[in-house]
Amino acid sequence: MSDTNAPWLIVGLGNPGPGYAANRHNVGFMVADLLADRIGGSFKRAQKTQAQVLEGRIGAPGPSNRRVVIAKPMSYMNLSGGPVTALRDFYKVPTENIVAVHDELDIDYGTLRLKLGGGDNGHNGLKSMTKAMGCDYHRVRFGIGRPPGRMQVADFVLKDFSSAERKELDYFVDRAADAVECLVIDGLERAQGTYNS
């Protein structure tokens, strides 16, 4: 069991810049932004790392209260491993206390799956993280579905959510943020039982 006093590092994966902000590939940033809003803080540039961070606490006062660092790597998706590893080392976060929130092609839109470890399933952000520090971190996988017709995967993930998807996006992002909080406070098994749909 991990040290209950150790902080958790919640990493929303995405690409920096306004041109990417509403892309499917940036749903990790969207969840990170919502978690930051709930804590009531704003991101600041982390010293010596290519990331924006917010330090805070989640959970009710008492034994379930957890210290968290919410991070958005500013390195572009394919190079996420460097900033995440630097933050892990700086904040002394055990690898099993890292949560990557990311888009997942092989899951229907809006569906969540939480897990510890595993492969990267072709996701370049996870690939970079795993190469940098191994695969023993948590993932909150946010389903975006497969591209329609013959659209290339790269084109699909770098497009904004469709107007139909946007009608439910806030709800699904809110649910993903709830899932992250449940994972950190109550553990993986409880979070999976509640949010794996």
Enzyme catalytic residues:
25
Tell me the DSSP string of 100-165.
EEEEETTS-TT-EEEEES---TT-HHHHHHHHHH-S-SEEEEEE--PPSTT--HHHHHTSBPPHHH
Residue 192 CB-density burial (10 A; 0-12 exposed, 13-18 middle, 19+ buried): middle
Residue 47 to residue 2: CA distance in whole angstroms: 27
CB count within 10 Å of CB 62 equals 6
- Is 98 in contact with 38 (CB distance < 8 Å)? no
The phi and psi torsions of 70 (rounded to 5 degrees) equal -95, 130
Pairing of strands 112-116, 66-73: unpaired
Tell me, what DSSP letter sits at residue 2?
-
